[in-house]
Amino acid sequence: MEKTEVAIDDEKFHEGEVTAGKKSNFCTSNKCSFILLVIIAATIAASCVIIFTDKELRTKRQYDPSDLEWWKKTIVYQIYPRSFKDSNGDGIGDIKGITSMLDHLTYLGVGAIWISPFYKSPMRDYGYDVQNYVEIDPMFGTTKDFDELMKEAKKKNFVPNHTSNDSEWFQKSRQMDTEYKDYYVWSDGKLNTQTRKYEPPNNWLSVFGGSAWTYDVQRSQYYYHAFLETQPDLNYRNPKVLKELKKAMTYWLDKGVSGFRLDAFKFAFEAKNLSLDEALPKVSSNEIAKWSDEQPHNYTNNLPELYPIIKDWRKMLETYKEKDTISRFMSVESTGITQSIRDQYYQAGSVPFNFDLITSLKRTCNGLCFKEIIERGMKDLSEDAWPNFVMGNHDNHRVASRMGLDMIDVMNMLLLTLPGTPTCYYGDEIGMVDVNYTFAESKDPAGLNFGKDFWKYSRDPERSPMQWDNTLNAGFSKGSPWLRVSPDYSSKNVKMQKETKRNTHIQVFKKVAEIRKLPSFQHAEIQFSVTNENFLSYVRQAEGRPKYLVIMNVGQDKNAVSADFTKEPVGSSRGQVVAMTGTVDIALNSILNLKEVSLKRGQGLVIRVYH
């Protein structure tokens, strides 16, 4: 393809490159310098680290974002390793497979990789039931394979709340070993005065349904598990446990990782008084009690003891920055939290993942609904609290299935043009959809636990193998894939979307990712341009830099809708189209009259506004 260049004031757009004044050095070689964010534990997954800037730097970065920490300038790309790329034909993705596909991430403009757990595990919850925090499961490869990935990608991540019940720690704990007996949360239970039998100490629920307590015959006590019964919760009130977790984190940091993601960290502490019941709704004797964020979990979620732990880990991470000047990133999975709790996570030294684009956005949302959800995620953020948005992950239906096939491009455009750090999920760049598996095909215990209702809870649909090309098994594996490949892979795959001359999903993603590197998109401010309920539009501009207008039709009207975008904060009647979704019939780089812009649902534009 012939290289095109369009000069726009002090910024130039090239195919495959964006420069702002001077060429960025973020990716200077064939392969980008990736940050790998990897999950280690089962209930709580550690993942990323932060360093806050003072007010002076915040002002300065609006002119020059080069002083921003790396994680504020990059795109985070989540890889579910079982489903990304299989290198040895056993049907399961592995570390060598990830290494072989780093060029794809370079193509996308991704600078950080978050890898879901690949640690030694019995795989009852596919890696989230960790058996050993510093050992790689042979299914995914070897330490040598990981070192090679590190060499190619340059950097990495972590996790912590529970382990597998097969772990050495748990086995010694149930044997009442002096060193390990208090590594987990144990209780005698309570005596039922009518049956004269002991029952669980309280009514706390497992996220996967039913009681969060399981009786262990060997120890003659109940143990607590926020998730599967094979995932006993660690006792964070035990200093020895905290020491073990820091030791594991240090192991990976010494190998060169640049951050951790704390998965389900809100479950780390439980109330000291284990006899307290939650005010949960009653269920019939033949029904499995179901857990939800809407229920009260005052004794098991977001207890104040969490924050000193985060501060301590943050302090440890800072010691690594002192050695090499590279900041470490620590993010926290934080669904269903209040603004107050969000702020406490920030203040402790972590970045709480913002899931509003997953949990709050509905297919029926219009432009005003989108605006409200985005504003809520950024409301009253302090000066040093960097925003972030997550569009998809391994626990939620894919964005193409949640929002509709016609919305794939605008959702990616939205994610990549909002303030802060965006996190995307493998396959969303090509518009992969959920795959509906039968009960016999299903693997996920979160669904299988509910029998015939498995499809309501299963996470398998969003974990289908990556679709690389139109060959056998979508190029994912030469063997039989652990989950069936989506039937649409022959017409929806990476190779086809890269090579076609149409403005495909992956090409839209790549173009907007390039634009995101510009200074006007590398700061934390956004100004909404409200026209009518169909459009979500906003201005991104850093002081002394060009102004950009992002327009997306997210309304419910099937016909094209027009609006006037000349009023403030746009303040201009014309601009140049620098990116657009795949179905827009407007030439790239053309000059557009902003007095009347017409788009159909699912269409979007990024416009460089002329003065």
Q: Please identify every residue annotated as catalytic.
A: 263, 333
Half-sphere exposure of 72 (CA within 13 A, CB side): 24
The H-or-E segment that residue 447 falls in is helix 445-448
Measured in whole angstroms, the distance separating CA 29 from the mean position of its chain's CA atoms is 26
Residue at 356: amino acid letter:
D
Whether the Cβ atoms of residue 11 and residue 5 lie closer than 8 Å to each other: no
Whether the Cβ atoms of residue 224 and residue 202 lie closer than 8 Å to each other: no
Per-residue b or e along 111-139, where b marks 16 or more CB atoms closer than 10 Å to that residue's CB: bbbbbbbbbbbebbbbbbbbbbbeebbeb
Whether the Cβ atoms of residue 224 and residue 185 lie closer than 8 Å to each other: yes
User: What are the Cα distances from residue 389, in Å, to 351, 368, 383, 478?
Assistant: 11, 18, 17, 35
**Best CA proximity match to 47, nearest among 147, 184, 160:** 160
First to last CA, the chain: 32
d(CA 459, CA 398): 10
Omega of the bond leading into 569 within 30 degrees of 0 (cis): yes
Q: Residue 570, by phi and psi: left (phi above 0), alpha (psi -120 to 50) or beta? A: alpha
User: What are the Cα distances from residue 123, in Å, to 165, 216, 234, 479, 608?
Assistant: 11, 21, 18, 20, 49
d(CA 183, CA 241): 6
d(CA 580, CA 603): 8
The residues, ordered by sequence, that sit 6+ positions from 471 with a Cβ below 8 Å of its Cβ are: none
Structure tokens at 533: 């309920």
d(CA 515, CA 521): 8
Query: What does DSSP say about strands 213-216 and 535-540: parallel, antiparallel, or unpaired?
Result: unpaired
d(CA 262, CA 78): 14
d(CA 204, CA 90): 39
| Opening angle at CA 158, ends 212 and 101, nearest 5 | 115
Torsion of CA 19, 24, 28, 33, to 10 degrees: -120
For the chain, what is the radius of gyration of the CA atoms?
24
Residue at 80: amino acid letter:
Y
